[in-house]
């Protein structure tokens, strides 16, 4: 399918950046929001992204104006009659999104594809309220969408292969890296990221290692930023939505650490509220007796532990990724591409499953079993890992693990 015109519904944090990315590829795009002030906000975000390119000498003022002329802000569906693809980016509420999908289904041409940028809601549930579930699909961008290359392309139960192909090519035309992720709660990146972030929170609750020390250690281990800096930037409210959906689907292994709720109840939502795991604004860098007290309280109840280690955070992430392969959510190559392009995992390690192959799968299994002995079932090794080890697919040294390697 050739796409001549696109639209984004919801011109907030994500929608505005998505519209900019589309216009940058040379395609006309509408930004629809509820009123003119919201539309103007979206247009301003897009213009600011272009302006920074102009300031850096990466484009001329004229080129910027020509790209901006491809973006049209609207507050109704009048101009949607000839739109080929829509990306919905309104707040994360199923009923709101379903209402919008119904409205779009009425106004769009029969051939148009309806995408959602949802982080956690069911694509199948969105498709079910339309007369074209075969043309409904997840197109999950990562923040900031004008920088991050990864797009999770998520077919629902009724999505056609043709739609998957069309949105994969469309993503490539935006100079992004599309990865097919078969529908599951949290999709791929958020699903594997949460056990990692949660384990960092369990370590903090024990009271022996500070957030800054853990963040520093994970950056040393190669992550682009520490887990607490990341959560503060994502926002506790956004993370909570994802955590609830993961807990609901996967059960006890996704049980969130208590500190999330304690800080959320205090109105500490991260950077946007001036405090999360760190303090921001006027209080940045100051002593934080409130957080110290929360940790002191929680450490009283903390179970037996051997303390923080980078492995304690990385291994649940690897284990959850293996579960995704086992469930046919995606391929091993796509896991590695996603952690590099979506999480900033160091490219020189080739991704987390290449890293696991390098370490040796029997070692990964033994460490997970050891950690299970201390912390319980959230470290329980995935059955596929056990099968691989039992079958001699033990990693790079053996010539096969999650990938194949040339042996000497
Ligand atoms: N923020 C992130 O980091 C991030 C990352 C990936 C995916 N997402 C997902 O993207 C979606 C949007 O998130 P966001 O952070 O951009 O939210 P946001 O609150 O910044 O923006 C939402 C926009 O939708 C508009 N809106 C609300 N109702 C509308 C309606 N009926 N019609 C048209 N516009 C309407 C709002 O006015 C607002 O401008 C969510 O599903 C979220 O889960 C967010």
pLDDT in tens, 259-313: 999 999 999 999 989 999 999 999 999 999 999 999 999 999 888 889 999 999 9
Which of 89, 95, 149, 191 to probe ligand 1 with, by most ligand atoms within 8 A of CB? 89
Domain spans, the chain: 6-180, 189-301, 310-398
Between the CA of 90 and the centroid of ligand 1 the distance, in Å, is 3
Which is nearest to 29 in space by CA: 89, 102, 101, 110? 89
Between the CA of 36 and the centroid of ligand 1 the distance, in Å, is 16
- In this prediction, residue 325 carries a pLDDT of 97
For residue 15, the ligand 1 atom closest to its alpha carbon is 16
Q: Is 97 helix (H, G, I), strand (E, B) or coil?
A: helix
For residue 381, CA distances in Å to 107, 120, 395 come to 49, 25, 16
Q: Which CATH class is domain 6-180?
A: alpha beta
| Per-residue pLDDT tens digits for 14-46 | 999 999 999 999 999 999 999 999 999 999 999
Q: What value does the mean pLDDT take over residues 165-191? A: 97
Among protein residues, the one with the nearest Cα to ligand 1's atom 27 is 90
- In this prediction, residue 408 carries a pLDDT of 67
Among protein residues, the one with the nearest Cα to ligand 1's atom 6 is 142
Cα atoms found within 13 Å of the Cα of residue 77, Cβ hemisphere only: 13
Confidence of residue 224 (pLDDT cuts 50, 70, 90): confident
- In this prediction, residue 239 carries a pLDDT of 85
Which of 7, 14, 101, 270 to probe ligand 1 with, by most ligand atoms within 8 A of CB? 14
Confidence of residue 115 (pLDDT cuts 50, 70, 90): very high
- In this prediction, residue 207 carries a pLDDT of 93
**189-301 CATH pick, 1.20.58.100, 1.10.10.10, 1.10.1040.50, 3.40.50.720:** 1.10.1040.50
Over 90: is that where the pLDDT of 389 sits? yes
Q: Which residues are marked as active site?
A: 140
Q: Same CATH fold, 310-398 and 6-180?
A: no
CA dihedral (202, 207, 210, 214) positive or negative? negative
Over 80: is that where the pLDDT of 58 sits? yes
Which tokens hold the place of 297?
Answer: 């309280």
What is d(CA 199, CA 279) in angstroms, rounded to the nearest whole number? Answer: 21
Over 90: is that where the pLDDT of 120 sits? no
- Residues of 254-278 as b/e, b for ≥16 C-beta within 10 angstroms? bbbbbbbebbbeeebbbbebebbbb
What is d(CA 266, CA 42) in angstroms, rounded to the nearest whole number? Answer: 31
Model confidence, pTM: 0.93
For residue 90, the ligand 1 atom closest to its alpha carbon is 24
Domain 310-398 architecture: Orthogonal Bundle (1.10)
Which of 91, 150, 189 to probe ligand 1 with, by most ligand atoms within 8 A of CB? 91
Between the CA of 12 and the centroid of ligand 1 the distance, in Å, is 5
Q: Where is 85: in which H helix or E strand?
A: strand 85-88
Q: Which amino acids bring their CB within 6 angstroms of ligand 1?
A: 9-15, 32-34, 38, 89-92, 100, 117-119, 141, 143, 238
- In this prediction, residue 222 carries a pLDDT of 85
The DSSP letter of residue 208 is: S
Q: How many residues does the chain have?
A: 408
Between the CA of 166 and the centroid of ligand 1 the distance, in Å, is 24
Among protein residues, the one with the nearest Cα to ligand 1's atom 21 is 12
For residue 35, the ligand 1 atom closest to its alpha carbon is 37
Among protein residues, the one with the nearest Cα to ligand 1's atom 7 is 119
Among protein residues, the one with the nearest Cα to ligand 1's atom 8 is 119
Confidence of residue 238 (pLDDT cuts 50, 70, 90): confident
How big, in percent rounded to 5, are the helix, strand and coil portions of the chain? 55, 10, 35
For residue 119, the ligand 1 atom closest to its alpha carbon is 43
- Residue pointed to by tokens 């739109």: 83
For residue 32, the ligand 1 atom closest to its alpha carbon is 33
């Amino acid at each position: 399918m050739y796409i001549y015109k696109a639209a984004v519904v919801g011109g907030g944090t994500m929608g505005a950046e998505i519209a900019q990315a589309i216009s940058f590829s040379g395609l006309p795009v509408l930004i629809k929001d509820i009123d003119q002030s919201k539309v103007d906000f979206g247009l301003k975000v897009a213009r600011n992204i272009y302006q920074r390119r102009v300031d850096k000498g990466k484009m001329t003022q004229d080129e910027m104006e020509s790209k901006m002329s491809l973006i049209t802000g609207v507050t109704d569906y009048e101009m949607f009659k000839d739109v080929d693809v829509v990306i919905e980016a309104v707040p994360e509420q199923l009923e709101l999104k379903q209402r919008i999908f119904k409205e779009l289904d009425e106004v769009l041409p029969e051939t148009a594809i309806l995408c959602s940028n949802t982080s956690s809601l069911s694509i199948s549930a969105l498709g079910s309220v339309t007369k074209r579930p075969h043309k409904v699909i997840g197109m999950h961008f990562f923040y900031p969408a004008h920088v991050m290359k990864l797009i999770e392309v998520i077919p629902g139960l009724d999505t056609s292969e043709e739609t998957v192909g069309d949105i994969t090519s469309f993503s490539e035309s935006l100079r992004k890296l599309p990865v097919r992720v078969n529908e599951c709660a949290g999709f791929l990146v958020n699903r594997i990221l949460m056990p990692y972030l949660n384990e960092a929170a369990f370590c903090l609750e024990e009271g022996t290692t500070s957030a800054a020390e853990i963040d520093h250690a994970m950056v040393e281990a190669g992550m682009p930023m520490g887990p607490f800096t990341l959560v503060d930037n994502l926002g506790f409210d956004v993370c909570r939505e994802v955590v609830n959906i993961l807990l609901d689907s996967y059960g006890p292994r996704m049980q969130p650490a208590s500190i999330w709720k304690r800080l959320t109840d205090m109105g500490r939502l991260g950077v946007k509220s001036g405090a999360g795991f760190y303090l921001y604004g006027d209080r940045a860098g100051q002593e934080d007796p409130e957080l110290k007290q929360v940790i002191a309280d929680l450490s009283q109840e903390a179970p037996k532990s051997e303390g923080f280690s980078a492995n304690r955070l990385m291994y649940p992430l690897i284990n959850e990724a293996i579960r995704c392969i086992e469930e046919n959510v995606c391929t091993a190559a796509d896991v590695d591409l996603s952690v590099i392009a979506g999480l900033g995992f160091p490219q020189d390690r080739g991704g987390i499953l290449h890293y696991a192959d390098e370490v040796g799968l029997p070692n990964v299994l033994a460490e997970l079993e050891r950690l299970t002995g201390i912390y319980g079932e959230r470290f329980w090794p995935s059955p596929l890992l056990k099968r691989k080890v039992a079958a001699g697919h033990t990693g790079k040294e053996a010539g096969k693990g999650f990938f194949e390697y040339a042996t000497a």
